[in-house]
Amino acid sequence: MRRPAALSLLVLGLGGCSIGKGVGAASGSLYEYGCDEAGDYCAPTGECGTEASPAPYDLKPRYFAGEPIDDLRQYKPGSGIMNNRVVIRLQRSGKQIELNDVLTFDIAASYEVGRCVRGRVDPDTGQPDWDPADCYRASDTGPGRVRVQYDADVHAALTLHATCTANVVASAISAPVPLSYAADPPPVVANGAWESWVELQELGGAAQADRAPTEREPVSGKFRIDYGERIYATSFFLTLIDDHVVSAAINNRPKPDPQMGATLGGDPTTGRFDFDVQRGQGAQFFP
């Protein structure tokens, strides 16, 4: 079972004048208990967040990084589809990760996400060439909306090392936690109305919006993101919960009290990113 991107290998990207350039937004509401020695997380306005009433939060990302990771393993044994990844970071600044507020998107299956972005329709069967359980497309030329969760093709996580001194990670969920604690299975979600998602218009060479859906080529099993290519998310919405709660639910352990939670995004003014992947220097671990 895949885990959140809490220990994903990232490239810090300190070299070169264009490294880290991009545009984006990541704001919403948040709480973190024991944020620092002064107490819980409080917004600059003085409003302190609780689980019942989170306080306003704005990451104000000014540094954007993407690290393609070629994986020799196959996504599914015998499929011929490679498990290539790309890890995306939105940071408050270009400082080290451990000194930053960082929002991470880990695309764990570039092939599957690429199929959603491409939006191909099989000309013989008329069936969409993407998994509707994880992908929703509102139009032929618009972005592909991809489900975000620890066991999905895209994971997301947030840490607040610049704002807080506590080492707490919040992971995105697309269905209500407590997950395995729930008495009933999560409801079927229609039209991409998951609790966490990202809409991608550009993902390297995945998009073929200039062609009719039935004329688009199948995504290669070796599809990957390369340096110099664009990653453009028109919007995202994330529901984030303390990773200790998520881990306990996955392993069917008693539910701990969450120390952190947040919602970020929802429209292009509060959640988006657009940048070109550039080669950086020096490897770092997250968080």
What tens-digit pLDDT sequence spans the chain (287 residues)?
A: 334 433 333 333 333 446 799 999 999 999 999 999 999 999 999 999 999 999 999 999 999 999 999 877 777 777 778 789 999 999 999 888 889 999 999 999 999 999 999 999 999 999 999 999 999 999 999 999 999 998 899 999 999 999 999 999 999 999 876 555 555 555 668 899 999 999 999 999 999 999 999 999 999 999 999 999 999 999 999 999 999 999 988 888 888 999 999 999 999 999 999 999 987 644 343 33
**Range of the structural domain that residue 261 is part of:** 5-285
pTM of the model: 0.88
Of 250, 237, 240, 238, which Cα lies nearest the Cα of 178?
A: 250
Measure the CA–CA gap between 227 and 204, rounded to whole angstroms.
Answer: 9
Q: What is the DSSP letter of 282?
A: -
How far apart are the C-alpha atoms of 117 and 121, rounded to whole Å?
Answer: 12
Rounded Cα distance between 238 and 124, Å, is 36
Number of folded domains in the chain?
1
